[in-house]
Amino acid sequence: MDEFNDYKDYLKSHSSFPGIKRRDFFRLMGGGIYIFFRAGSAMEIMAAEADQNRLPNDLNAFLQIHEDGTVTCFTGKIEMGQGVVTGLAQMLADELDVAFEKVQMVMGDTDLCPWDMGTFGSLSTRAFGPYLRAAAAEARMVLLILASEVLGVPLEDLDVKEGVVFNKNDKKKKVTYAQLTEGKKIERFLSEKPEVKDYSEFRIMGQPKFRVDSVEKVTGKAKYSGDIRLPGMVYARILRPPSHASKLVSVDTSEAEKVEGIQIVKDDDLVAALHEDPEMADKARRLFKAEFAGDEKPVSNENVFAYLSENAPEGNTNINEGDLETGKKSSEDIFENEFYDGYVAHLPMEPHTAMAFLEDGKMTVWAGTQTPFSAKSNIARVLGFEEENVRVKPPYLGGGFGGKSAHQQAVEAARLAKITGKPVMVDWNRQEEFFFDEFRPAAIVKIDSGVDDKGKIVFWDYHVYYAGDRGAETMYNVPHQKRTVYGRGWRAPGIHPFPTGAWRGPGNSTNTFAREVQIDIMAAKAGIDPVEFRLKNLTDQRAIDVLTEVAKMADWKPAKSPSKRGYGVAIGSDAGTYVAHIAKVDVDTKTGEVKVLKVWCAQEMGFCVNPQGATIQMEGCINMGLGYALKEVVEFEGGQVKTSNFDTYEIPRFSWIPEIETKILDRNAPPQGGGEPAIVCMGAVINNAIYDLTGARLFEMAMTPQRILEALKNV
Amino acid sequence: MAETIEFRLNGKNIAVELDASKTLLWVLRTHFNLTGTKYGCGEGYCGACTVLIDGSAVRSCITSLGEVAGKSVVTIEGLADGDKLHPVQQAFVDNDALQCGYCTPGMIMNAVGLINDNPNPTHEDIIWGMENNLCRCGAHNRIIEAIETAAAGMRNKK
């Protein structure tokens, strides 16, 4: 939902900008009452609708056929490692009937590509994909009609293979797409749009394709924002506050000014040292003498959950079915638990970086951003430029995970480039990356639930604070249930001591952790095997399918938990996709260290466009998920972010990595998201496995060795 | 203070007039435009900046230019033989062992250094040899497979 709110904010701040219609905003907002959009799926539909409103009708906006037969695909999406560079090329090649190898991708360039909301929410394939396919299908039909005229062959006698249109009855009669278009725009359009292909007709979609960018990336030729080189460029080092609560009172740059070749910029709150040598710019920044003032919020790692509870916003009940009291009365056992999740950082290996250059009144910004079009708008607004005078060109992104939806560095670079007239590189160091990261919010989930004497869940009273409700669906069939959501999405401005934002599978990892641990607690008390207990309470066939499959993959032997074997199970749903995980763990009861030995994962994502890419995303989700589950803790005191590098903030390393076995279930239904779903179960599946092995139950993530030792004391 | 520093860089003899205390990473990236070597943390924790110095993997973000005087430095750009990829690079491609690709040059250089030191690495040797190279995308399993494949291939060639 937050992505939609971002879009809404974007529209609000740009209501006077031509092309964005305020009435669209209100229509989308259902009269402005946004609290009624409740589930992740609603956000997704909204996002897709927003895309639809802004995407051009002209197929030329999506593709161009060149004289040499290559085809360029234009998309406002960006490539950050997730592999849409490959998957979108497959979609275009298949619908257009050209060889996959002939497709070149142009991504995210705001001057060349169709408008896009941003690359997040696992929306590229499922929300943008249909428009790309429709454009390709229309182009194919137009080309067939042109070929029919050129060849003098009736349309029904024509077929096309790899960009060559031919007479089915006389294959010598043929013409290529390149000959038909001569590299020019396609000027003809169809009033009645042709159908896209049926699943049975796919030749390229559904085939496992390796990354198309790997040779560039293994040779060091792939360009990221920091690799852009322009004559006369300078590196900027910007004065940073010690805390998010700090406001600049005064700054003395006199010592910094003595550094040879330095240029100092002071523009309101933006104070920067610029030098052609980044180390000299660093040196000058260290010589800034600044005074800051500000009142800290009384919150730190010590009291974060108490503080968040005390400051909880009003709740909105978005599901209320049956009657909780009736459910309680029919319960054999009632379970009341609270679950806690701490702040987690995104930490793409490439910090936020941007290069900006003003030339002939036009600002061009190469920025590592998931949101090039909103970056363009924000830069234009801050600089006082017309939007057409700003171009954002994202090169490859060195990871994003939601963290590069924020694009402060691009605005900083543009401001400095405007002031100095030079090409300016703003490349944050790791400390700045930690400080300005919009962390995954600390969050609380409270669940009261009950099971009857037959092992059926009879009531479910769910309260989620600060995480939003993506992934908060009960999933299980419960007659009496209520869900209350406190706070808007994963942002709670004014409450957290620093900005929070969307972190891969936002909200869902927190919600799935709470739900699937609560389910496990109930199964254990009922004395029922945790897979069997879940199946007993599920009616959603897609959930049943992935759970049944993963149990088969892991050769699951039913047992009441804790079985002392160290197996855990969890299921989840995100971005229209269903996942089920089983993990096997080992725990060193002396040190509290957990080793995840193996993870099995079954995923059902509708039709899978690129099984290779999707598998790699599942593996990446599983490995990345080990971090938030076991180790990642942001240390802070008020708005001071104490964690500043990888020495104290541990992300997954080679020695942590489990054996991974994945399976994607076939289903001929519209493609769903793949970049995030397999991460959402990682907290719960590890928690449940730790319990199965040791009998220790944890209620807080990250499940650090210290917290595990504490929990072991209670066994 | 600028001085003449001579070393080999990607197989060529180089002499530069620069301050010996400058950081190798930034000299490579700005002076030589060898941008394949990446900044990740600036303190030697993540390995994105790894290069080979006399065949051993070294973190260029905590190495001064003066330290490479008289030595041979190889960056990711100097690894392939023309269009022919180094076996480790090829194995990364063949195993689809990357996602965003930002840690990849450092991973590859570290792996080459590892194989140089130990041409017969076990699975465990590879894990612990790569332990301090960080990847946020989670490509670890395939990176290990790629290094195993490359090491085996390089042994068979000898």
Are A654 and B128 an interchain contact pair (Cβ–Cβ within 8 Å)? Answer: yes
Q: What percent of chain B has pLDDT over 90?
A: 97
Q: Across the interface, which of A216, A397, A623 has its CB nearest the CB of B140?
A: A623
Are B141 and A651 an interchain contact pair (Cβ–Cβ within 8 Å)? Answer: no
Residues with Cβ within 8 Å of residue A664, at least 6 apart in sequence: A602, A603, A604, A605, A608, A611, A614, A615, A618
- A269-324 pLDDT tens trace: 999 999 999 999 999 999 999 999 999 999 999 999 999 999 999 999 989 999 99
Are A645 and B43 an interchain contact pair (Cβ–Cβ within 8 Å)? Answer: yes
Please give, rounded to a whole number of angstroms, the shortest distance from the CA of A216 to a CA of chain B. 9
Determine the pLDDT at residue A325.
98
Q: Hey, how many other C-beta atoms are within 10 angstroms of the C-beta on B122?
A: 12
Determine the pLDDT at residue A56.
85
Do β-strands A270-275 and A263-267 pair in parallel, antiparallel, or remain unpaired?
A: antiparallel
- A180-199 pLDDT tens trace: 998 888 888 888 889 999 99
A-chain CB neighbours of B80 within 8 Å are 219
Task: Look at residue B40 and tell me whether its pLDDT is greater than 70.
Answer: yes
Determine the pLDDT at residue A18.
30
Regarding the domain with residue range B2-75, which homologous superfamily does it belong to in the CATH classification? Beta-grasp domain (3.10.20.30)
CATH number of the structural domain A312-343+439-713: 3.30.365.10
Report yes or no: A215 at the B interface, CB cutoff 8 Å: yes
Please give, rounded to a whole number of angstroms, the shortest distance from the CA of A648 to a CA of chain B. 10
Ranges in chain B annotated CATH 3.10.20.30: 2-75
Question: Which segments of chain A have a pLDDT < 70?
Answer: 1-53
B-chain CB neighbours of A213 within 8 Å are 101
Q: Return the half-sphere exposure (C-beta side, CA atoms, 13 A cut-off) of residue A260.
A: 1
Measure the CA angle with vertex A588, ends A586 and A592; round to 5°.
Answer: 110
Report yes or no: A678 at the B interface, CB cutoff 8 Å: no
Determine the pLDDT at residue A49.
53
Rounded to an integer, what distance in angstroms lies between the CA atom of residue A589 and that of residue A566? 13
A-chain CB neighbours of B123 within 8 Å are none
Provide the token pair at A72: 């360029």
Determine the pLDDT at residue A53.
63
| Architecture of the domain defined by A230-294+349-436 | 2-Layer Sandwich (3.30)
Please give, rounded to a whole number of angstroms, the shortest distance from the CA of A200 to a CA of chain B. 28
Rounded to an integer, what distance in angstroms lies between the CA atom of residue A713 and that of residue B20? 55
Determine the pLDDT at residue A44.
53
Ranges in chain A annotated CATH 3.30.365.10: 38-212, 230-294+349-436, 312-343+439-713
B-chain CB neighbours of A229 within 8 Å are 33, 35
Task: Look at residue B5 and tell me whether its pLDDT is greater than 50.
Answer: yes
Determine the pLDDT at residue A28.
33
Please give, rounded to a whole number of angstroms, the shortest distance from the CA of A588 to a CA of chain B. 19
Are A210 and B96 an interchain contact pair (Cβ–Cβ within 8 Å)? Answer: yes
Whether the CB-CB separation of A610 and A83 falls below 8 Å is answered with yes
Whether the CB-CB separation of A89 and A129 falls below 8 Å is answered with no
Are A220 and B130 an interchain contact pair (Cβ–Cβ within 8 Å)? Answer: no
Alpha helices in chain B (DSSP H): 24-26, 87-94, 104-117, 123-130, 140-157
Determine the pLDDT at residue A492.
86
Are A654 and B140 an interchain contact pair (Cβ–Cβ within 8 Å)? Answer: yes
A85, containing H or E segment: helix A84-96
Determine the pLDDT at residue A121.
86
Are A347 and B136 an interchain contact pair (Cβ–Cβ within 8 Å)? Answer: yes
Do β-strands A103-107 and A71-75 pair in parallel, antiparallel, or remain unpaired?
A: parallel
| Chain A residue with Cα closest to B30 | A277
Whether the CB-CB separation of A95 and A197 falls below 8 Å is answered with yes
Are A654 and B133 an interchain contact pair (Cβ–Cβ within 8 Å)? Answer: yes
Residues in chain B: 158
* Total beta-carbon pairs less than 8 A apart between chain A and chain B: 173
- The owner of tokens 């769910």 is A462
Rounded to an integer, what distance in angstroms lies between the CA atom of residue A380 and that of residue A389? 8
Rounded to an integer, what distance in angstroms lies between the CA atom of residue A239 and that of residue A242? 10
What is the ipTM score, two decimals?
0.98
Residues with Cβ within 8 Å of residue A271, at least 6 apart in sequence: A238, A239, A248, A251, A253, A264, A265, A288, A290
Determine the pLDDT at residue A493.
83
| Chain A residue with Cα closest to B108 | A218
Please give, rounded to a whole number of angstroms, the shortest distance from the CA of B24 to a CA of chain A. 11
Q: Hey, how many other C-beta atoms are within 10 angstroms of the C-beta on B55?
A: 12
Provide the token pair at A173: 């009669």
CATH number of the structural domain B87-157: 1.10.150.120
Rounded to an integer, what distance in angstroms lies between the CA atom of residue A708 and that of residue A406? 34
Are B130 and A654 an interchain contact pair (Cβ–Cβ within 8 Å)? Answer: yes
DSSP for A494-522, written as a single string: TTSSS-B---SSTTHHHHHHHHHHHHHHH
Rounded to an integer, what distance in angstroms lies between the CA atom of residue B1 and that of residue B22? 10
Residue A57 CA, distance from chain mean position: 27
Determine the pLDDT at residue A191.
86
CATH number of the structural domain A38-212: 3.30.365.10
Please give, rounded to a whole number of angstroms, the shortest distance from the CA of B73 to a CA of chain A. 15
3-class secondary structure, A592? coil
A-chain CB neighbours of B144 within 8 Å are 654, 657
Determine the pLDDT at residue A47.
57
